[in-house]
Structure 1
Amino acid sequence: MTETTVRGSGECDASSEARLPDALAASLAALGAASVDGLGEAELLEVVALLESTKGAASALQARATERFVEQRDGLVSAAVAREELSDRQASLQRRAARSEVALARRVSPGQADRHEGVARALVHELPCTMAALTAGQISEWRATIVVRETACLAAADRLEADRRLSGCLTTLGDQGLSRAAHRVCADLDQAALVERRRRAAASRRVGVRPAPDGMAWLSVLGPVAEVVGAYAALRSAERGRHVATGDARVDAERAADERGEGAWLADTALELLSGRAEGQPQPVEVALVMSEAALLPGVAPASDGQASVAQTIVAPAAGEQVEVPGFGAMPPETAREMVLRLLAGADADDAASSGVWLRRLWTSPGGHELVAMDSTRRLFHGGLRRFVELRDQGCRVPWCDAPARQVDHVEAFARGGETSAANGLGVCQRHNLDKEQPGWSAEVLASGLDPGGGRPHEVVLSTPTGVESRSLAPPPLGHGRGAIGQVSTGPVPAGPMEVSHPDVLWSPLEVRLGELFAA
């Protein structure tokens, strides 16, 4: 949850630049108050078309404002370098921090803001025809981005010529057609630049993973087309070979019993080959599941003799069972239980370190909306404290940034007396960790989130040199859009080693149940 406000900068004069934000705010208010009730079909479509043109014109103005802001900020940094007030590294960090301010203003990640800034600079300085079409509302921001992207390899003079050649088809071709046309223009104007671009693209080959719906995930490989197509062809050839009889009765029987479709077989085989696992071997990697006791251990009916039992302390399952895979989203409880059972069934009792299943307990407030625990006297965030902050923040906490929290840093710097604690810790990406240390940036903890009584979650306010304040609340452990997790049990503590080693702990239903099982 984020909230953004802008403080006055003290530059409210009568100039047209100072009045422009007010005019835009009035236009935004008029659009928000407008209604389409009573309009005919032709008028409704006219509204759709005009708003599409308005978005294009607004994107052009946004690009000019972005380019001017970055140009002015870079000019100040360059002047400081010329006066030897800043080193080259400090100048680079301050320039990058300026782009992060653009990210907050556009409500996007810093990576997206960098791309927007590059598009704005190209449109303003090197692509006048495309900029004119965007300003007139004839094309969308995405179509302008296509032209910028496809002509990025050209020198300034060649880019101007490419812009002129493409001006006639900007409003007639589809997105793919425009992309191909721009590619042809680049091939005609500078083939060497196109070859160099492809060489650099080959150096950026990589593998990535991203979440997909329904508890799935995408594994993507970016590489040269010949190698990628060749690998896919080899996999397809192996799939077709599974339908050919081998003469071995056992192998042929197993293949005949395999009811997997082509896509499922290809995916299973590729994952087995990449991970190096044998068939049936569990995946030796940690997958965090945040779930309530009711979701992991469904309730059991009370004992027939009416006596109190451990089973009575287990929270009964309900429609509100909640499971979250940090970084990937929600998962049905039944699917999570199947995952745990599958791992338990495939675990090797003689090698628990490599194939065991571990359960880690985290303390939450009674409502389950925030994690509460852990402090440290160390200078750096390590071990359990670091893991705690990572699970609490679930990614970079700076608004609009979707990057993973590669670093855990102090909100108030350690050098200025900041503690190495959960309250003063913040999960951030590397870029934002460097940005908040630049001149004019500051961060402050508004709420520690450590109130065991269920107070406010961890909250931080981030201020930028231009007076923008962005507030960030720690997400709930089970993700936004969810209610509270199961209530903490007040059932009896089972006798055994756990009671002896932790006499002051209020045991959860899960631990009560596991304690009885271990004792048995």
Structure 2
Amino acid sequence: MFETLDPATVTEWRAGLTQALETDSGLDDAARVDTIRALEELVCTATAAQAALAAELDASQRAEQSRLGVPAARRGRGVAAQVALARRESHHRGRLHLSLATVVRRELPHTWRAWRAGRITEWTATVIARETACLDLEDRWAVDETIASDHDRLERMGVREVVAACQAEATRLDVASVVARRRRAEADRHVTLRPAPDTMTWLTALLPVKDGVAVLAALTRAGDTARASGDPRGRGQVMADTLVGAVLGDDGTASPARVALDVVMTDQSLFGGSDEPAHLDGFGPIPAELARELVVGACDRDETIWLRRLFAAPTTGELAAMDARARLFPARLARFIRLRDRVCRTPWCDAPIRHTDHATDHDADGETSAVNGQGLCEACNHAKQAPRWRAGPSPNTGSHTVETTTPTGHRYRSRAPTVATVREVPIRVDYVLTG
């Protein structure tokens, strides 16, 4: 039983559980199911403990920043990044964890008691907090009491049921705030791209409900019409092809789009002497065969192709320099760093690169160079500007490594990814699709 909540105690308990997993449990099936349930409750309580500590960290760091004279509007910067690093997750996830930790304990007391008792998951607590965010504090307390005061009932509810119940109560208490929230949500419409298995992608659009339903109906109608006329493609294939054609202009309804793609591949892969995977900027690794197919297809369509040599380090295979004939002005240097780092260099943050950052700050005489440069997402770049964050290139590591030290003294290293074997020299194939 825990007497104190500290690293040594938690590590000791985890070590005991790890040791227990080395042998067969010896339980009958009913006991196995009961133990799985008990462990799930333990996981829920553990995430609640993480939330409690995150909230304490936030309060402590804000107090320290206040003592250092940080303006009130900037206090708390960097705390979510510390939570994310500790939980080995992205800065975005760290922000969500910290926001939940500070809100649930203060504004959703019944939800907090159910969470720390292991009756609900962290995600269920997140959903309740999200669906009541538009309400004032008094109404939020009322929804929390209605939905979460009966822990047995709450535990039996599925996530969709919890969402529906929260939305119904929020609408009953303050319909105007629900309408205002919907309008704010419509302003947040956007499109994202994520890698999918087998060199595919998920293109996701967050749209107002009327637009999303209308788009799906139009694509479905196109698929049904094509299938009825004998098109051998499946309905899903027709819908996907119709969407691409409408955006890129292949269906005659729009002007051809000009699109630039950055592909990093070795010279041997380009000319068929190797199957070293290539890297497509904004997506990730792609097979050499597909990279060659993209280049050959661009040539067949008389599209513009630019080549630039990028040299790999002889011992690590990571990108180390650009063609000396290219001028190293900031725009090209920033592009090189983006191609070298691929995603945000903060450990466990796979967000797209938005800023080219000086690892050692420019104000601290940090050089504007590839060695002192790193690609970061916007949130991580802002986080490291908080007091007592330090970062810089880590020498004598055999690769491009940046070491970051947080205000609590924890150190994290990030290493640039390898793009080629040490025997090969990578080049960038940069081509523009002109339709």
Common fold, TM-score beyond 0.5?
yes
The correspondence for 1:477, drawn from 400, 419, 422, is 419
* Structure 2 CA distance for partners of 1:98 and 1:38, relative to 1, 3 Å: closer
Deviations, residues 425-473 of structure 1 (Å, cap 9, x unaligned): 111122322332332111121137xxxxxx7110111011111111111
The correspondence for 2:279, drawn from 324, 343, 357, is 324
1:477 aligns to what SS in structure 2? coil
* Structure 2 CA distance for partners of 1:487 and 1:373, relative to 1, 3 Å: closer
1:170 aligns to what SS in structure 2? helix
Q: In the alignment, is residue 272 of structure 1 matched against residue 260 of structure 2?
A: no
The range that moved more, 288-297 or 185-194, is: 288-297
The correspondence for 2:355, drawn from 397, 403, 407, is 407
The range that moved more, 27-36 or 59-68, is: 27-36
2:307 aligns to what SS in structure 1? coil
Describe how 1:411-490 pairs up with structure 2 within 5 A: 411-447=359-395, 456-477=398-419, 484=421, 487=424
The correspondence for 2:20, drawn from 9, 27, 34, is 34
1:128 aligned residue: 109
Query: How far does residue 393 in structure 1 lie from its aligned partner after superposition?
Result: 1.0
* Structure 2 CA distance for partners of 1:475 and 1:92, relative to 1, 3 Å: farther
Residues in 2 aligned to 1:390 and 1:158: alpha-carbon distance in whole angstroms: 46
2:191 aligns to what SS in structure 1? strand
Residues in 2 aligned to 1:265 and 1:486: alpha-carbon distance in whole angstroms: 44
Query: How far does residue 171 in structure 1 lie from its aligned partner after superposition?
Result: 0.7
The correspondence for 1:67, drawn from 51, 55, 73, is 55
The correspondence for 2:77, drawn from 88, 96, 104, is 96
Deviations, residues 350-378 of structure 1 (Å, cap 9, x unaligned): xxxxx3123332101235621122599xx
Q: AA paired with 2:86?
A: A
Q: AA paired with 2:204?
A: S
1:230 aligned residue: 214
2:344 aligns to what SS in structure 1? coil
Q: AA paired with 1:140?
A: T
Q: In the alignment, is residue 56 of structure 1 matched against residue 44 of structure 2?
A: yes
Residues in 2 aligned to 1:190 and 1:295: alpha-carbon distance in whole angstroms: 61
Contact 2:55 2:101 in 1 (8 A): yes
What is the TM-score normalised by the length of structure 2?
0.87
Residues in 1 aligned to 2:87 and 2:66: alpha-carbon distance in whole angstroms: 25
Q: In the alignment, is residue 175 of structure 1 matched against residue 172 of structure 2?
A: no
Residues in 1 aligned to 2:76 and 2:340: alpha-carbon distance in whole angstroms: 31
Contact 2:264 2:427 in 1 (8 A): no
Describe how 1:325-364 pairs up with structure 2 within 5 A: 325-347=280-302, 355-364=303-312
1:111 aligned residue: 92
Q: In the alignment, is residue 391 of structure 1 matched against residue 339 of structure 2?
A: yes
* Structure 2 CA distance for partners of 1:238 and 1:278, relative to 1, 3 Å: closer
Contact 2:77 2:382 in 1 (8 A): no
Q: In the alignment, is residue 263 of structure 1 matched against residue 230 of structure 2?
A: no
2:394 aligns to what SS in structure 1? strand
Q: AA paired with 1:37?
A: D
Which of the pair has more CA radius of gyration? Answer: 1
* Structure 2 CA distance for partners of 1:241 and 1:64, relative to 1, 3 Å: same
1:259 aligns to what SS in structure 2? coil
Residues in 1 aligned to 2:181 and 2:62: alpha-carbon distance in whole angstroms: 27
* Structure 2 CA distance for partners of 1:510 and 1:145, relative to 1, 3 Å: closer
Q: AA paired with 2:280?
A: V
Q: AA paired with 1:263?
A: G
Deviations, residues 94-150 of structure 1 (Å, cap 9, x unaligned): 422222222222222222111111211222112222111111112211111121111
Contact 1:282 1:343 in 2 (8 A): no
Residues in 2 aligned to 1:375 and 1:410: alpha-carbon distance in whole angstroms: 22
Residues in 2 aligned to 1:297 and 1:405: alpha-carbon distance in whole angstroms: 30
Residues in 2 aligned to 1:38 and 1:241: alpha-carbon distance in whole angstroms: 58
1:447 aligns to what SS in structure 2? coil
Residues in 2 aligned to 1:435 and 1:57: alpha-carbon distance in whole angstroms: 28
Aligned length: 418
* Structure 2 CA distance for partners of 1:136 and 1:381, relative to 1, 3 Å: farther
Deviations, residues 387-406 of structure 1 (Å, cap 9, x unaligned): 22111111211112222221
* Structure 2 CA distance for partners of 1:487 and 1:395, relative to 1, 3 Å: closer
Contact 2:346 2:414 in 1 (8 A): yes
Q: In the alignment, is residue 187 of structure 1 matched against residue 142 of structure 2?
A: no
Q: AA paired with 2:33?
A: L
Contact 2:366 2:372 in 1 (8 A): yes
1:286 aligns to what SS in structure 2? strand
Q: AA paired with 2:118?
A: G
2:432 aligned residue: none
1:371 aligned residue: 319
Contact 2:338 2:375 in 1 (8 A): yes
What is the TM-score normalised by the length of structure 1?
0.73
Residues in 2 aligned to 1:403 and 1:29: alpha-carbon distance in whole angstroms: 33
1:405 aligns to what SS in structure 2? coil
Q: In the alignment, is residue 142 of structure 1 matched against residue 123 of structure 2?
A: yes
Deviations, residues 9-53 of structure 1 (Å, cap 9, x unaligned): xxxxxxx76x62321121122222222514232333233112111
Residues in 2 aligned to 1:329 and 1:86: alpha-carbon distance in whole angstroms: 39
* Structure 2 CA distance for partners of 1:66 and 1:286, relative to 1, 3 Å: same
Q: AA paired with 1:27?
A: W
Residues in 1 aligned to 2:282 and 2:423: alpha-carbon distance in whole angstroms: 22
Q: AA paired with 2:43?
A: K
1:24 aligned residue: 10
Residues in 2 aligned to 1:278 and 1:121: alpha-carbon distance in whole angstroms: 51
Residues in 1 aligned to 2:428 and 2:116: alpha-carbon distance in whole angstroms: 61
* Structure 2 CA distance for partners of 1:365 and 1:283, relative to 1, 3 Å: farther
Contact 1:126 1:159 in 2 (8 A): yes
Q: AA paired with 1:229?
A: V
Contact 2:372 2:393 in 1 (8 A): yes
Query: How far does residue 242 in structure 1 lie from its aligned partner after superposition?
Result: 4.4
Structure 1, unpaired ranges of 5+: 1-15, 245-254, 299-314, 348-354, 449-454, 479-483, 489-507, 512-520
1:359 aligns to what SS in structure 2? strand
* Structure 2 CA distance for partners of 1:142 and 1:415, relative to 1, 3 Å: closer
Query: How far does residue 291 in structure 1 lie from its aligned partner after superposition?
Result: 2.4
The range that moved more, 287-296 or 114-123, is: 287-296
Q: AA paired with 1:30?
A: G
Q: AA paired with 2:262?
A: A
